[in-house]
Structure 1
């Protein structure tokens, strides 16, 4: 009779907890991506994306290797992976039985008056006694409805998210270093162009001075030539502030002292190449972009969290057991009579919680919707980044081609003007104007080449990087 009553009560509790049904369904249809990139150049070829980085520059390879081994931002990301793994290990351990041991010595004194004064004749008891005990206890949540399994799945998904976050940090770190090294080389090229401009301006100033002293030209020609030389010196001095900014940025990125950074940047480098943009498909962003992978892992974690929260509406079945020794003198602790033990099974089910669990389920469902929208946002962020990068590569290449053509044309014009002036066929002002145009075009070519290289680094990052071993 008692067994049937207990079973009936357990069934009633289970039914009361299960009436709410399964967790709510949240639609998470994958975003639809276009068949191709609209701004992908027609000359894009199937090749490794690693060619987009300045891997031929020893400064980049050395600084990148140092950053990957010692950068604080990357070390923080790796530590977060370890923390997520620890949480996953804890979630997995929750599914297994727990066994604990304990030992104690307890002294107790009893006042006989608490039992009254009418004790039978000959009945006596010790008012002071000491007990000794040693116990092993075990407990196990059977997890019949998968709550603990869902929590473990969520923790493992967060490990994947932490790993993808670390990959994104690595990607951003390499991109920043590559961009800074390219900017440094661009400054060097601009300096060479400006020094060439300065030399040409000084030669014109010397020529104008000679003509002034000979009385065949006004002093105003010399003044204008010296003004052009001063303008080139000013632009040269302005490069130093940009160098300081780049060195400081690389110190932050690599966690290396300034002297080491400058030493590595002083290494000679080949002329930067401008490889063709690699061909890619929008769907490849889903597997190559670490931020998209991290968002997908967090979406999976939120789904598991929702299941685990909904499983709280169902009963929890627990088994517990204890085995120990209890004696009231130390010599009897290991005798057969001192062995004590227990075995129990328990059931815990919510019956009336006034909507607490339902509120938690609603919150978990909202978190899953937010995680899905974050995933969609990361997908379209990746798509937009790739489209922008492809467009920038095309535009930067066109700018470089136009700037190179302008430079060649202005140099021919400056040389022709100089020849005509020496032959007495044109005035000094024509020569000076032609030289100013040629001088400005040289620096513009250097800057345009730097922007073209920068655009390729941006494309490498937008496509998810990879194919790079340092």
Structure 2
């Protein structure tokens, strides 16, 4: 259970992020330019006070073992996740690269040379040779007085964490896409099955019409109308089957499978559960969604970039140390070498660059302000995502219950119409209208069930997914 706490403005959230994660010159004057975003104390959609965020085993609430297996497979084989992992690896290597600038660099050298007087191959006494050997060591270190290298290393470290959060965002997206596509496959199966069941009803009605036509109780027009209705219903089924195939192939792509290896075993939406969709305190969203955490860290990285750009305005200082041993041969190099050492300090300062470095500082500052506005926009979008998803979940539940009642009534109307038609009390058009209403109600119910399941997934995604062990098990309710 998440404990409620005072809501924070965007400004406080940004400053806290900078203080905790960077230590990199996040300037108050920049933060003062941010218009605060203060979330309401409760989500506007609904008045319930549930404060349960999705738990790590939230997906079990769908009562779909096949879905759990597909999600596990996607985490291992999805190509988007593989690319995200490689981007994280690159960020980690760049962090190592940036950190190396904080350490001294060491070098070593060795040489052997032979000086020959006279001709090569001349064995006379006038031919003389001299061998020279040498070993050298060197070290250099940049004195980071202005914090440029430290800022670059910090930015690289923060960017690694941003890449990790980006990986979490991709995982969240892939998980939601797999679930939504899986539910879509099952819904299309149900819709095709409904169409086939109604086709069987149409064939049964056609048999009644043909019998009445032979007995003179039905006209040729009645017979033609029912035959046309039968053909129309039969023609709709291949389209639904093709849509099911398309969705199945999309699922194969998400799982990294070959198309021919993809098959969904579950027959339809019947039997699926619906996880609890309680929502916590809105302010917690800033700490839950990986994209928001990444956007906050981007501000820390931008602050480090500003430090590095400002440091470039000042002189750079390097200290170097080198030493070498030399001799006339290997023996003299070991026993009686000639030693030399050199210690140096160098300073470098650009005198005129046409304002390039100051422009670089201003660019870095402008980029940070842009990121602040991006972060603010992301927060507003996140709140909107949750409101939209929660409202959709509540409305889909209401619509599903009403649609279930609609199907029950439509089925009763068709039963009565069929009985009355057999008795000659209603005409064929009344029966056809009843059948069309039943098919439409059944199809709408299936699509409403799909919308309810996908709304739950959308809410899970909007909240940033599940974290940690469940605090009290998964509460489920039937999906219809």
Q: TM-score range by the shorter chain?
A: 0.7 to 0.9
Q: Is contact 1:43-1:276 (8 Å) kept?
A: no
3-state SS of paired residue (2:38): coil
- Report the equivalent of 1:254: 255
Instruction: Answer yes or no: is 1:333 the counterpart of 2:333.
Output: yes
Q: Deviation at 1:261? A: 2.0
- Report the equivalent of 1:189: 190
Q: Is contact 2:60-2:68 (8 Å) kept?
A: no
Q: How does 1:28-427 map to 2 (within 5 A)?
A: 28=31, 29=34, 31-36=36-41, 38-43=43-48, 45-49=50-54, 51=58, 55-106=62-113, 130-262=131-263, 264-266=264-266, 271-427=271-427
1:442/1:410 CA distance change after superposition, 3 Å: same
- Report the equivalent of 2:7: none
- Report the equivalent of 2:17: none
Q: How does 1:13-32 map to 2 (within 5 A)?
A: 27-28=30-31, 29=34, 31-32=36-37
Aligned counterparts of 1:399 and 1:440: Cα–Cα separation in 2: 15
Q: Is contact 1:59-1:181 (8 Å) kept?
A: no
Q: Is contact 1:53-1:460 (8 Å) kept?
A: no
Aligned counterparts of 1:159 and 1:270: Cα–Cα separation in 2: 44
3-state SS of paired residue (1:33): coil
Aligned counterparts of 1:261 and 1:414: Cα–Cα separation in 2: 38
Larger mean CA deviation between 311-320 and 96-105 belongs to 311-320
3-state SS of paired residue (2:50): coil
Using the size of structure 1 for normalisation, the TM-score is 0.84
Aligned counterparts of 1:209 and 1:268: Cα–Cα separation in 2: 34
- Report the equivalent of 1:17: none
3-state SS of paired residue (1:134): strand
Aligned counterparts of 1:219 and 1:41: Cα–Cα separation in 2: 56
Q: Deviation at 1:329? A: 3.3
1:268/1:453 CA distance change after superposition, 3 Å: closer
- Report the equivalent of 1:19: none
Q: Is contact 1:58-1:269 (8 Å) kept?
A: no
**1:292-327: CA deviation from partner (whole Å, max 9, x where unpaired):** 122112221111010111112233332211122122
Q: Is contact 1:209-1:219 (8 Å) kept?
A: no
Q: Deviation at 1:81? A: 1.0
Structure 1 unaligned blocks of 5 or more: 1-21, 111-125
Aligned counterparts of 2:200 and 2:28: Cα–Cα separation in 1: 74
Q: Is contact 1:186-1:447 (8 Å) kept?
A: yes
Aligned counterparts of 1:135 and 1:208: Cα–Cα separation in 2: 106
1:102/1:30 CA distance change after superposition, 3 Å: farther
Q: Deviation at 1:169? A: 0.6
Aligned counterparts of 1:427 and 1:189: Cα–Cα separation in 2: 31
Q: Is contact 2:176-2:461 (8 Å) kept?
A: yes
Aligned counterparts of 2:279 and 2:248: Cα–Cα separation in 1: 34
Q: Deviation at 1:284? A: 2.0
**Structure number, greater radius of gyration:** 1
Q: Deviation at 1:74? A: 0.6
Q: Deviation at 1:23? A: 9.9
Aligned counterparts of 1:441 and 1:238: Cα–Cα separation in 2: 19
**1:22-69: CA deviation from partner (whole Å, max 9, x where unpaired):** 997651348413214654333573434254787422332222111111
What number of residue pairs does the alignment pair up? Answer: 433
Q: Is contact 1:312-1:357 (8 Å) kept?
A: yes
Q: Is contact 2:189-2:267 (8 Å) kept?
A: no
Structure 2 unaligned blocks of 5 or more: 1-24, 118-126, 470-480
Aligned counterparts of 2:73 and 2:424: Cα–Cα separation in 1: 60
Q: Deviation at 1:404? A: 1.7
Task: Please give the root-mean-square deviation of Cα atoms over the aligned residues, in Å.
Answer: 2.7
**1:349-400: CA deviation from partner (whole Å, max 9, x where unpaired):** 4444442321221121122122222222222221222122122223322322
**1:223-271: CA deviation from partner (whole Å, max 9, x where unpaired):** 2222222222122111122122212211221111224321x44577752
Q: Deviation at 1:449? A: 0.8
